[in-house]
Structure formats: structure tokens, C-alpha cells
A and B are shown apart, each in its own frame.
Chain A
Amino acid sequence: MNGRVVALIAIVSLCVVGGGAYVTVAALTAEGTTSDERPRIVVDEAGAATLPAASSLLVRAVDYDNPRLNGRVYRTELAPGDTAESVGGLACERVYVSPTGTGLCLAVARNGFDYQGLVFDRRFQRQASFSIPGVPDRARVSPDGRYGAFTAFLSGHTYSLGVRQFSTHTAIVDMRAGKPLFSLDELEITRDGERFERADANLWGVTFVDGDRFYATLGTGGQHYLIEGRVSTRRARVVRDHVECPSLSPDGRRIAYKRRVGKLDRWRLHVLDLSTGRDVALAERRSIDDQPEWLGDAHVVYSDDRHVYAVPADGGGRPHRLVARASSPVALP
């Protein structure tokens, strides 16, 4: 046999044996789940002390070193010294729960490749699942638990400039049926009474007012509009601009949101009073890419994808770290 063939056979054998052994070990260790490891979520005492008593939060663990803990959902009382308590076996990239206990978890599917939405009940037991066509980004559930909404990033669409950009897919979920009802692309949107249609329109970041009305973001041509719509009529109207990822306060009067600063993807958290139009920047000076959440009517909570923070909703005070190694905070009743 010629020398080159021998060399190739040697290299191929080495690769088959070495690669095969590695994959085998990986498959075996990935199966043997040792999930009794302690969560590394820590409630920050100084931060928790600034909040009203008896606040509690649902968060997901951020632990990139440990794929088995990453995304696990924890409940914490935010009392000094409290350690987070794991709820159920859910692992979510984004999670939300309504005061009724019905929740939506956006998760990586079992094959580690696809994404799915899981509807869960008050005991955090999975009730239904549906597939999600992209990278999960935002999740919300209406206060009565009737509807949910999710936003996912779709990659790979080549828009102008030849640069691949993200487009978003946002859908309303029928929580009872456990599947998406319609995509926000189908909304009939008006602005000052006239049809407002744009080919490059992207919609994301739903927040519900009640079991029908909702707010969301409409992005088109570099502008970001706040829209108000109804699930029942599938219609919406443009309310104002410069609002992304809105979040309605429990009293229904204000919207916390992220406001783009400059041309780059940098955002400041703001609170907008819907009746007076008064808009204040919050004391968090870093760029935050999150859909904020309200904790009572006086605080806004959010994450920087590493830790969860709280900041006063009136623009005063300063941000406090609440929970280390967590994201996707949801205030619990």
C-alpha cells in the first residue's frame, strides 16, 4: 500500500477513535444529571432592604458554567439572608407568570437545537408546549392569565446594506389552548387614523393591560413606536415614538421602557406617565437591554443578563443589585 494511503488511514483512525471517545464521554456525562448542586443565586441584602417588605420575585438562574443550572427557575422572598428556592423542573431562557399563577416559559427544546414555549400552571407543571421559530427574547402573560405573548429573534434575513440583521417574530398565545393565536405581523395598524403599513416593520415587547388590550413596540425605518392594540379586534394604533419594550405599571398609569440613545444599540431605562406625558430617565446609567418589570408601583426591576437590579421608578435614588446570577425577573403577588 502506498505511503500516503497509510498516512490517511492513520489520521482517519485517530480522528474516529479520538472523536468517538470524546462524544461517547460527552453523551454519558450529559445524561447523568446531578441536579442537586446548589444554585448560586444570592439575594443581595443591601438591595433588598430598599424595597417594600414581603416582596417576592421569580427569576431564572444565569449560570453559563453549568448548563444544567442555567435557566432553572427560582422563587425568592427578597428577605435578607433568604436563599432562592427552586420551583419545578423548568429551565427557561425567559419566563413570565401572571398573578393567577399561569405562566409562560421560553425554553431550549430537549434536542438542544430548537426552541419552544411552555405554558405552566400555578404549581409550575407544564400544561402545553409549542415551537418557537427563533431565539427567545421576551415573554409576557396578561393579568388574568388568558393570553400570553412572546418575541423571538429570527436570524438570517438579509436586509439592506448586505448586513444580516435580526428581525423579530412576536405572537399572541392562547394560554388556555396552549398555542400561538396570531402573529403581530397580522395587526392592522393605524397612525392618526390612517393605515400605517411598512414592509420592514418589526414588532416586539408586548405588555398587557387586561385580558384584551396590550402595548407593544413597532420598529420601522430606524424609528421605534409605542402601539396600543387589542387581541379581540387584531387592530392597533400608534401612540407615540421612542419607546421600546414597554412594561405597564400595576396601577396602569405609567410605562417603564428602554429608550435608545445615539445610533448604536444602547438604551436607557425610562418611565413615561401615560396621562401627563411626563417622561423621566431612571437612575440606572448603564445601557440596559431588557423589558423591565414593576415591583409595586414605586420600583422597576430588570437584569443586565448577569444580575437582577431594582431602581426607583421616579428617576431618583440609585440602582441596587437584588439577586446575583439571575435574569428575567417577575414580581409575584
Chain B
Amino acid sequence: MYQAESSRVPLGHRGLRAGAASGRGGRVSRNVVVLGAVSMLTDVSSEMVSAILPIYLVFALGASPLQYGVVDGIYQGASALVRLLSGFVADRWRRHKDVAAAGYGLSAACKAALVAIGGTVSAVTAIVLVDRTGKGIRTAPRDALIALSSTPATLATAFGVHRAMDTAGALLGPLLAFGLLLLAPARFDAVFVVSVCFAVVGLAVLLLFADGHPRERDDQAGIERTVDAGGRTRPTLREAIALLGERRFRVLVGIAAVLAIATISDGFIYLGLQRTLDLSLTAFPLLFVGAALVYMALAIPAGRLADRLGRTRVFLGGYALLLPVYAVLLVPSAGLVALIFALLALGAYYAATDGVLQAIASALLPDRLQASGLALLVTAISLAKLISSLAFGLVWTLGGLDAAAAAFTAALVAALMLAGWALARSPEAIA
């Protein structure tokens, strides 16, 4: 097996130099780059399938739009259920890599199943369900491994590196699928076969190169002193739940959830931009691509900035970047310049918040409960997003887009002030 020490050693000339040679910042460990590569390969694999899934279901299998809607709903929702469980299992038996590998393996097997038996709508529905379960299983242990492979000073940079690679894969996948269908029109099986290849290579990189037991991190977190009274025993479910009783973690989860409730969901933002700017519907997907490109480019710099200037500062700054995006939704007859500005701000918001929040949380969490804590945080945010989506849809329906954007602007300002107040009131620094 891999030596525990090796992941602690910075990569030197082979590593990503992620900041100044000394002080806060610094380099991310090789294990983070390995996990980033695994995510990139897996995202190429899964995004190339999800890009062609609608057309495959409707045209190759003759699914009705309702059936497609069911599959799409599963695609969006199935992963939340297993996330909490897999996070806890990974912590309890200290098997982060194995649990993550099970998740990646399950998804790879699903791509193979699409090739073998994906010929009917019901089979594809079942396969998509299992595939998304795989995603739910792998996320929390993978993020825990990233945290455990990083020094406290480079946590946000490490998550930034991972998210940048992950997003690169998500952008490459649809392009690859598109290219394959140009080469071999209507041969969806060719897309599935290539998808299997990427998934298998991703799994191989994980199994061969990822370190499942990175350094036993020094306890700088503080939580461990209160929760981990029993020394090195296995964490229990009670301890995992008790994380929510720990003041600073609870404040963080609360802040993240309140901000998420005040955030207009991605779909609505893109739809609002499309309506406000009267974009052609064919240009619609380009909005996603534009924001993802900015996210990819800024994920590492934002992480580095967070490690240097303070993570909560960058995190709250990221949310503040949403305000100009909302403003574009509110301004009537905004032009192309406003659109580019909005996409830049939106991409920067993703970069400054997604990985950085995971970094803030993992700095607070004891090593032995990393995966459980991160899973709790992500689940709380998912719930908050659901509430936000419901509220925005309701206000839009009742009062129109302007009213909804104005209400959410006010809510976001209030949430930012609340977050600033809660952080200032917190006796110990959160990050």
C-alpha cells in the first residue's frame, strides 16, 4: 500500500504550485490531484451520457416526455438519500477510499449496463437510479479524503483544485458525446462504450493511485476535544449527529443554509437571464457553458485567496457577487455587456463558495467525522435549495420575474447581514 507519509510531502516540481512557497497558501498534496483526476474522468463519463440521455430516450427508445421527466427527476434527486449513510459508514470503518470506490465502481458498472441492456425505457430508468446512487455514495467520502490529504493552510486551495478539474470534465463530456455522434450518427452505443472507458480509467486511477489513509491530521479543530472523548474508538452514529450540537459547526451549517435559501437556483437564474435579455433559445445552453468556464478558471485562484485572506471572507464575498447577477435580472433591457458581466459574476460566485464552504467545514470537523460532517452540511444545503426553488417559483408565478428577483435580492442582503453578524458574534473564529 501507499505510504502514509508520501501524501504529506508536497509534490515539488510535479505538483500544482498553488501559492506562495511559505505562509498560508502553498501546494496541494498529490492525493488531491489524483482525486481531481478521478473526478474529471468520471465527469467526462457521466456528463457525456447525461447530455445525450434525453435524445436517446425519446428518439432511440420512443419514451414519452412524461417518462423522460421521470428519468430526469431521478437524475436530479436520487443521490441525496444515500449521501448521509455513506458518509457515516466511511467514517466509522475508516474506509473512505473503499466507500468512494464502491460509488465510482457502481457508476462505471451502470455505464456498462447501458451498453448491455439499455434498450428499454424501464431498464434505462433503473440504471439511472443506480448510477445516481453511486454518485451519492462517493461524494462525501471523496471530499473527506481531499480534506484529510491537505494541510489546514491549503484546504480551500485543495478543494479549488478538485473543483476546477471536476468542472473541466463536466465541460469535456458533452463535447466528446457531440463529436462521437457526428462521427457515427445515431450510434448511441458508441457513446456508452466510450463512457465506460472513461469511468473504468477513473476507477483505476482511484484504486491505483489514491491514498485511502492520508496523514492522521493533528487536531487543530477543537471539536474533537468535546466530541471525541473516547480517543481512537470508532465514531458512533450518536457522535455524528452530535456534530450538529457543536456550536461553530451549527453556526456554519445555519449560515450556509440561510444563504442557500436566499439564492435563486441556477435554472431560474439562466431562465431569468434568457427572458430579461431576450436570448434565443438555442443560445440557452451557452449560458451554462459560460458560467462553468469562469468557474473552472477561478476555482483555484479563489481557493488560494481564501486560504490567504480568510475563507469566510471569500465565502461571503462570493455570495455578495450574486447581487450584481440579480441586478441584471431586475434591469429592463440589459444588453450583451450585462450578460457577460452576469456570467463572470456567477462563475466567480461558484468558485468562491462551493469548494470554499467545504474547506471551512472540514477545518472545523474532526478527522474521524469528516465524511459525516460534510454529508450533513451538503444535505442541509440541498434542503435549503429545495425551499428556495419552491419560494422563487411561487413568487414568480404570483408576481412575475421582477418581483421574485427583487424579493430574493432583499433576502440575500438580509442573509449576508445575518451571516456577518453570526460570525462576528461567534466567540471563536470559524475560519
A residues contacting B by CB (< 8 A) are: 4, 7-8, 11-12, 15-16, 18-19, 22-23, 26-27, 29-30, 62, 64, 67-68, 70, 93, 108, 110-113, 131, 133-135, 137, 153-166, 169, 198-200, 221, 265, 289, 305-306
Task: Assess whether A64 is in contact with B60, with CB atoms less than 8 Å apart.
Answer: yes
With a cutoff of 8 Å between Cβ atoms, the chain B residues found around residue A160 in the complex are 389-390, 393-394, 397
Q: Is A108 a contact of B397 with CB atoms below 8 Å?
A: no
Let me know if B397 and A163 touch, CB within 8 A. Answer: no
Contact A113:B52 (CB < 8 A) given known A26-B184, A131-B282: yes
Q: B397 to chain A: which residues have CB within 8 Å?
A: 160, 198-200, 221
Given the known inter-chain contacts A15-B200, A30-B185, A162-B386, please indicate yes or no for A157 contacting B54, CB distance below 8 A: no
Contacts of A164 in B (CB 8 A): 69, 72-73, 76, 267
- The answer to whether B60 and A26 have CB atoms under 8 Å apart is no
Which residues of chain B from 146 to 196 have a CB within 8 Å of any chain A CB?
178, 180-187, 189-190, 193-194, 196
Q: Residues of B at under 8 Å CB distance from A?
A: 52, 54-55, 58-62, 64-66, 68-69, 72-73, 76-77, 178, 180-187, 189-190, 193-194, 196-198, 200-201, 204-205, 208-209, 265-268, 271, 280-282, 284, 385-386, 389-390, 393-394, 396-398, 400-401
Q: Residues of A contacting B209 with CB < 8 Å?
A: 4, 8
- A4-B209, A133-B284, A165-B69 are contacts. A157–B267 as well, Cβ < 8 Å? yes
CB of B281 within 8 A of CB of A156, answer: no
- Can you list 29 A-B contacts with CB-CB less than 8 angstroms, sorted by A residue number? A7-B208, A15-B197, A23-B183, A26-B187, A67-B186, A68-B186, A93-B59, A111-B178, A113-B55, A131-B282, A133-B280, A134-B281, A153-B65, A155-B68, A156-B267, A158-B265, A158-B266, A158-B267, A160-B389, A160-B393, A161-B390, A161-B393, A163-B77, A165-B69, A166-B69, A169-B281, A199-B397, A200-B396, A289-B64
Q: Provide the residues of chain A in CB contact with B196, threshold 8 Å.
A: 19
Known contacts A15-B198, A26-B189, A161-B390, then 12 further A-B pairs from the complex at CB < 8 Å, ordered by chain A residue: A7-B204, A8-B204, A27-B187, A30-B185, A67-B186, A68-B186, A111-B181, A158-B393, A160-B390, A160-B394, A199-B397, A200-B396
Which A-chain residue is minimally distant from B281 (CB atoms)? Answer: A133
Provide the bound-state CA to CA distance between A181 and B182, in Å.
30
- Inside 8 A of B198's CB, which chain A residues have their CB? 15
Chain A nearest CB: distance from B26 CB in Å?
26
- Given contacts A19-B197, A26-B187, A8 and B205 within 8 Å (CB-CB): yes
When the two chains form their complex, are residues B54 and A108 in contact, meaning their CB atoms are under 8 A apart? Answer: no
- A112 lies within 8 A of B181 (CB): yes
Please indicate the chain B residues that have their CB under 8 angstroms from the CB of A70 in the complex. Answer: 59
Q: Give min CB distance, B167 to chain A, whole Å.
A: 18
CA distance A164 to B121 in the complex (A): 18
Nearest-CB residue, chain B, relative to A22: B193
Q: Tell me whether A30 and B187 are in contact (CB under 8 A).
A: yes
Shortest distance from the beta carbon of A185 to any chain B beta carbon, whole Å:
9
**Smallest Cβ distance from A216 to chain B, in angstroms?**
17
Tell me which of B66, B77, B184, B204 contacts A23 (CB under 8 A).
B184
Q: Please, which residue of chain B has its CB at the minimum distance from the CB of A160?
A: B393
A22 and B55 contact, CB distance less than 8 A: no
User: From residue A54, how far is it (CB to closest CB) to chain B in Å?
Assistant: 31
How far is B400's CA from A157's CA once the two chains are assembled, in angstroms?
16
User: Bound state CA distance, A22 and B191, in angstroms?
Assistant: 10
* B66 / chain A contacts, CB cutoff of 8 Å: 265, 289
Are B271 and A110 in contact (CB-based, < 8 A)?
A: no
Residue in B closest to A108 when the chains form the complex, CB atoms: B59
- What's the least CB distance linking B250 to chain A, in Å? 25
